[in-house]
Amino acid sequence: MSIIDLIRSRKSPYAFDGQPVQFDEIKTAFEAARWAASAYNSQPWRFIYEPAGTDAFDRLMSFAIPFNQNWLQFAGGIGVILARTTSEHNGNPDPSAIYCTGMAIGQFSIELTALGYDLHQLSAFDAEALKRDLRLLDALEPIAMMGIGKGAITEATPQDLVEMEEGRKVRERKQLSDLVKSLSEPFSA
Ligand SMILES: Cc1cc2nc3c(=O)[nH]c(=O)nc-3n(C[C@H](O)[C@H](O)[C@H](O)COP(=O)(O)O)c2cc1C
């Protein structure tokens, strides 16, 4: 069974319908993340999630740069993606932690799409302030944040976001032949 159509349909919207998304609505997506592969099965991914309409949502949003706050304010929830970068067992650095957290969020994003929701990740946020203000464990590194909701242009969508959505209609990707090579055909750039 191929899920390529589902994968291709995932997209990062700038316009959301403004409806709060409760954790239970998207719990299966976190379950998909839980089942990701990881080096030594270390499972270094951690998530914080807060639905819209709460002080906690506003607190998380405050760590994003203003450009991102401009669209994130309309998301139905905000997630923070964290990686535990040292071993729970011996405290040694886990060099695969960020890679494995990416595995988990990849699975999360596809299950979320299957559930009928969208996510828009952002790395332009103040990770140091977030870590300090939320008093995170030293071992937990904030990797990215994400706005979650149903991507839609509504009557409440500001014009600048409508235009940003219009500009994203054509989604571009490199050619597969530029990404996958055999040994006899080396990468030239
Ligand atoms: C790790 C990561 C960080 C990103 N940071 C931002 C960001 O700070 N602001 C933003 O508007 N989009 C951000 N994006 C969204 C990308 O721009 C988007 O995924 C890319 O343009 C491809 O579009 P698509 O997700 O719709 O396929 C980020 C995506 C990822 C995976």
Give residue limits of the domains in the chain: 8-158
Q: How confident is the model at residue 169 (pLDDT cuts 50, 70, 90)?
A: confident
Cα 124 to ligand 1 centre (Å): 10
Task: State the burial class of residue 82 (Cβ atoms within 10 Å of its Cβ: 0-12, 13-18, 19+).
Answer: buried
Tell me which CATH code domain 8-158 carries: 3.40.109.10
DSSP states along 56-81: HHHHHHTTB-HHHHHHHTTSSEEEEE
165 φ, ψ (degrees, to nearest 5) = -65, -45
Rounded-to-integer distance, Cα 159 and Cα 9, Å: 24
The pLDDT tens digits of the residues spanning 67-116 come to 999 999 999 999 999 999 999 989 999 999 999 999 999 999 999 999 99
Please report the beta strands in 86-151, taking only residues with DSSP state E, as ranges in sequence order. Answer: 118-122, 140-149
Cα 146 to ligand 1 centre (Å): 9
Rounded-to-integer distance, Cα 113 and Cα 129, Å: 30
- DSSP letter at 96 equals T
Rounded-to-integer distance, Cα 76 and Cα 119, Å: 10
The pLDDT tens digits of the residues spanning 136-157 come to 999 999 999 999 999 999 999 9
Cα 167 to ligand 1 centre (Å): 14
* Predicted local distance difference test score (pLDDT) of residue 186: 85
Nearest atom of ligand 1 to the alpha carbon of 11: 26
